[in-house]
Structure 1
Amino acid sequence: MTTTTPRGTTATEVRRRGVETTGIEIIDEKERTARPHDLFWPWFAANVSVFGISYGAYVLGFGISFAQAAVVAVVGVVLSFALCGIIAIAGKRGSAPTMILSRAAFGVQGQKVPGVMSWLVSIGWETFLAIMAVLATSTIFGRLGWGGGTPTKVVATVVVAAIIVLASVAGYHIIMRLQSVLTWLTGAATIVYIALTLGHVRWDAVRGLPSGSWQSVVGALVMVMTGFGLGWINIAADWSRYQRRDASSGAIVAWNTVGGALAPTLLVLYGLLLAGSDPTLAQGITADPIGTLATILPTWFLVIFLVSAVLALVSGAVLGIYSSGLTLLSLGVRILRPAAALVDGIILTAGTIWVVFFAQSFLGPFQSFLITLGVPLAAWAGVMIADIALRRRDYDEDALFDAHGRYGSVDWISLALMAVASVVGWGLVVNTFAADAAWNNWQGYLLQPLGLGTRTAEGWDGAWPYSNIGVLLALLIGLVGGIVLRRGRVRRQEAGDAR
């Protein structure tokens, strides 16, 4: 049967124009032509951004030495993207989006619980990237004397939103080609940025940074992991679903990890050198990362820097909006994939306009809300990774769409694990935007009873509160609990029994 778009155009004709019409359904065997090394391009392009340099200031903000921070950067970035690589294995096994494949672990209907959370996280983070791109344009135009006020922001908002929406509506094949081009452009501009600013590094100041407690090291590690790989983990299989059946799982993990981690690792390390050399620069990065990083550049490079910074932020937003559209479809919304991407793109645009032009204090509460969602996201990731590790066969494709199939309607063990992990995790993290988001200060309720910290009028005292160990514990509870409690169920599923 020939499918049609709302305007009567056949899906085949739409595909000829370069638009991907495949939604949450299983990818046809003949279309599974991608190889593991193809995963390098989207992951590298989405993460080769000068914005990664700003994380150097954030890491040193935990009061640790350069050596400690360097270990945190390497381990945190690589480990977090390796976890994404493991999730990507599911894409090859099932040739469906991440949130459809997650039905094997949570049940066809039960998956809607983490699905809603995933959709909110994706929409939120990509809106944040779009906001950063618009504000960066305004800041740099202001320094160039071209005016950084409302007209500049209006044009920047229109251009940024248009690129993100059009690319995400076009779909997988257009995005893969776009990302391969952006990789070279943003990569080259980033190399030039490092060359131009290398003279600002003061090795004596960097070496003189005092060491911090190991709890502070853990806190910095959690921040790096959530800021990089864990921020992408709920969409990791979306880009591996076009992989060939005979693709090596090890190669998928490796290329996913290298593509995602290579640039951020180097950028954060360089950011540590810059922030450790200049406390004023480090302080400015906290409030305006892109604009502050531009202050140490010669004027002639500012336009190139702006273009590369904006393109890198847009690149990440494109991946997120494309995947959030797939997640929306997995929740039962009955529209075509391009339309789903367009809906999410409109939400992103509206959110960007509100923050840039109307909101008086929004970024703090907004980030607080997104960070709060990071705990159940980590719990979901633990359960999903455990499920992938336990399985020895490809997914039953029909059962992923049938609540009466072998995966069932609701997997109560997985949902219970996610709930327990979230309760424990929220109890061991604190709201880092307490002044802007006082409504979120309920977190950290286990710290004082366990003797790990003391709440004061100014915040928290003690070594543990700002370690945010709750994120790692949520991940581990989901992972270990999934392996121990769901082993028998997975075996029965693979034997064809839905019980």
Structure 2
Amino acid sequence: MTTDPVRTAAADPAPARLIETNGIDIIAESERTARPRDLFWPWFAANVSVFGMSYAAFVYGFGVSFAQAAVVAVVGIVISFALCGVIATAGKRGSVPTMVLSRAAFGVHGQKVPGIVSWLLSIGWETFLAIMAVLATSTVFEILGWGGGVGVQIGATIAVAALIVAASVLGYHTIMRLQSVLTWLTGAVTIVYILVTLGHIDAAAVGAVPAGSVGNVVGALTMVMTGFGLGWINIAADWSRYQKRTASNGAIIAWNTIGGSVAPVVLVVYGLLLAGSDAALSDAIASDPVGALAALLPPWLLIPFWLTALLALVSGAVLGIYSSGLTLLSLGIAIPRPAAAAIDGVILTAGTIFVVFVAGDFLGPFQSFLITLGVPMAAWAGILIADILLRGRDYDETALFDPAGRYGAFDWVSIGTMVVATVIGWGLVINQFAADAAWNNWQGYLLEPLGLGARSVVDGVESWDGTWPWANLGVLFALLFGFVVTLLARRGTVRWQEGRA
């Protein structure tokens, strides 16, 4: 069973199995053979998706110019994946998944609070990627004249779900090999896509996009950070727990950052050129992000583009569902890791079917969902990053599974910090998709009292006046608040836990 925490260096000395048997248990020293540069492959393959180009339209939606958007893309993507890299170093120092390592900061049982949020976020991400893969398939088939109706969508849903679940059930070693192959394939076709679509760029139109205010830039920056690195931060250590114990922390951070950032930076900046050149393309991205980009291609490139986009989206979803299965185990569900991945696969399939065949526009509700969960996850990330920086020694791995051990059952300082940061953070973000996700219109309750905006309701739909309501300040606040409070309030606790009091 994967819930058995203790594995000795002598355990499982055999070569990697077809199906990974490790769950949230401690990785044996004999299995820790990965090198920092190995981290490049999963992060690059998961983020080289052409969906990165679609983010350009979302960035422009904040009312910024090309130059502002380009700076936001570079800064937001690199910083957010660097934060993932910091958390990835904990995987090397603790030999267990991210959400188990987080028990050192929250307590063995207290970790269930951020764990539930993390599980929901991972499920949401992987379902979103599966939905885009299905919609992209339908659009490309329709462009080719093969029909993109219900039959194609059903077939695509089954195929996409099967690929994602199969890879995640097989586990770490299979995923790492798969990602290294996908990196070359998706990278090559993406370069071809850029070369073929260069003629669609209108430099004059791009240069004419008006600049926005500081609030517009901050809003775009927050969205980029949340959509890229912060969207993966809750699983960052899952892929570094197989690293050699002698691996350099700096190298782990560097390869995590390079692998996650290099493709999105290029894709988003190029997408800014495309979206800034064509307002109709920018609008089309809202309903079918990948399919809209396919419409720019000649027929001979559609099949390679579709396959590449499909595999890249599946690649990202595989990382998500693998880690969401680990998170499910960390919550106390006593089942083998492959079974946990399969359960999440069923949920992913059900969510994909609902959105594709029942719901209407999915982008608005998803963005609203992302910001809502992004606030508590940002608070958790700030707490965990500070906790990692405070530690001078490796984790007591067995104590991560013992409520009576040095990390305790509950750390009320961390739990309280996360709750306070979330409550304040939700008051500083708004539901930017009020018409599509009215269930989230309760947010932003601190903006008017602080003089940062004014709420109004027109024809039953909420709207906001002012720049700052759209800046999503609550995400950045939660991240910084969690970080600073932990640095100040838990320094003594960490020293005591490490026997350095």
Q: Give SS of 1:385's match.
A: helix
**TM-score using structure 1 length:** 0.96
Counterparts in 2 of 1:126 and 1:296: CA distance versus 1, 3 Å: same
Amino acid at match of 2:98: T
Cα displacement (A) at 1:124: 1.0
The 5 A counterparts of 1:43-62 are 43-62=43-62
Question: C-alpha separation between the residues in 2 aligned to 1:282 and 1:61?
Answer: 9
Residue in 1 that maps onto 2:183:
183
Amino acid at match of 1:469: L
Residue in 1 that maps onto 2:249:
249
Question: C-alpha separation between the residues in 2 aligned to 1:293 and 1:362?
Answer: 18
Deviations 1:238-258, CA, capped at 9 Å, x for gaps: 000000000000000000000
Residues 376, 474 of structure 1: 8 Å contact kept: yes
Range moving further from structure 2, 247-256 or 428-437: 428-437
Range moving further from structure 2, 239-248 or 53-62: 53-62
Deviations 1:383-434, CA, capped at 9 Å, x for gaps: 0000000000000011100000000000000001101110111000000110
Question: C-alpha separation between the residues in 2 aligned to 1:384 and 1:253?
Answer: 15
The reply to whether residue 470 of structure 1 matches residue 474 of structure 2 is yes
Deviations 1:352-375, CA, capped at 9 Å, x for gaps: 122222334655334423320110
Residues 424, 470 of structure 1: 8 Å contact kept: yes
Counterparts in 2 of 1:151 and 1:71: CA distance versus 1, 3 Å: same
Cα displacement (A) at 1:126: 0.3
Question: C-alpha separation between the residues in 2 aligned to 1:403 and 1:370?
Answer: 32
Counterparts in 2 of 1:119 and 1:17: CA distance versus 1, 3 Å: same
Q: Give SS of 1:452's match.
A: coil
Question: C-alpha separation between the residues in 2 aligned to 1:289 and 1:136?
Answer: 8
The reply to whether residue 485 of structure 1 matches residue 482 of structure 2 is no
Residue in 2 that maps onto 1:76:
76
Cα displacement (A) at 1:104: 0.1
Question: C-alpha separation between the residues in 1 aligned to 2:326 and 2:339?
Answer: 10
The reply to whether residue 289 of structure 1 matches residue 286 of structure 2 is no
The reply to whether residue 351 of structure 1 matches residue 351 of structure 2 is yes
Residue in 1 that maps onto 2:8:
none
Question: C-alpha separation between the residues in 1 aligned to 2:369 and 2:335?
Answer: 28
Question: C-alpha separation between the residues in 2 aligned to 1:268 and 1:100?
Answer: 33
The 5 A counterparts of 1:323-472 are 323-360=323-360, 364-458=364-458, 459-472=463-476
Amino acid at match of 1:485: A
Residues 12, 28 of structure 2: 8 Å contact kept: no
Residues 431, 443 of structure 2: 8 Å contact kept: yes
Cα displacement (A) at 1:16: 6.6
Cα displacement (A) at 1:184: 0.8
Question: C-alpha separation between the residues in 2 aligned to 1:128 and 1:56?
Answer: 18
Residue in 2 that maps onto 1:7:
none
Amino acid at match of 1:478: G
Range moving further from structure 2, 465-474 or 61-70: 61-70
Question: C-alpha separation between the residues in 1 aligned to 2:63 and 2:204?
Answer: 17
Residues 137, 306 of structure 1: 8 Å contact kept: yes
Q: Give SS of 2:23's match.
A: coil
Question: C-alpha separation between the residues in 1 aligned to 2:500 and 2:71?
Answer: 45
Amino acid at match of 2:497: Q
Question: C-alpha separation between the residues in 2 aligned to 1:211 and 1:17?
Answer: 54
Residue in 1 that maps onto 2:169:
169
Amino acid at match of 2:93: R
5+ unaligned residues in a row in structure 1: which ranges?
5-10
Range moving further from structure 2, 452-461 or 362-371: 362-371
Fraction of identical pairs, as percent = 72
Cα displacement (A) at 1:23: 0.5
Residue in 2 that maps onto 1:101:
101
Q: Give SS of 1:457's match.
A: strand
Residues 406, 496 of structure 1: 8 Å contact kept: no
Amino acid at match of 1:441: N
Residues 182, 311 of structure 2: 8 Å contact kept: yes
Question: C-alpha separation between the residues in 1 aligned to 2:248 and 2:366?
Answer: 39
Residues 372, 426 of structure 1: 8 Å contact kept: yes
Residue in 1 that maps onto 2:272:
272
Cα displacement (A) at 1:17: 5.1
The reply to whether residue 233 of structure 1 matches residue 237 of structure 2 is no
Question: C-alpha separation between the residues in 1 aligned to 2:143 and 2:236?
Answer: 38
Residues 429, 470 of structure 1: 8 Å contact kept: yes
Amino acid at match of 1:463: T
Question: C-alpha separation between the residues in 2 aligned to 1:354 and 1:209?
Answer: 37
Residues 15, 21 of structure 1: 8 Å contact kept: no
Question: C-alpha separation between the residues in 2 aligned to 1:369 and 1:304?
Answer: 32
Residues 14, 21 of structure 1: 8 Å contact kept: no
Residues 109, 409 of structure 2: 8 Å contact kept: yes
Question: C-alpha separation between the residues in 1 aligned to 2:13 and 2:36?
Answer: 29
Question: C-alpha separation between the residues in 2 aligned to 1:420 and 1:462?
Answer: 26
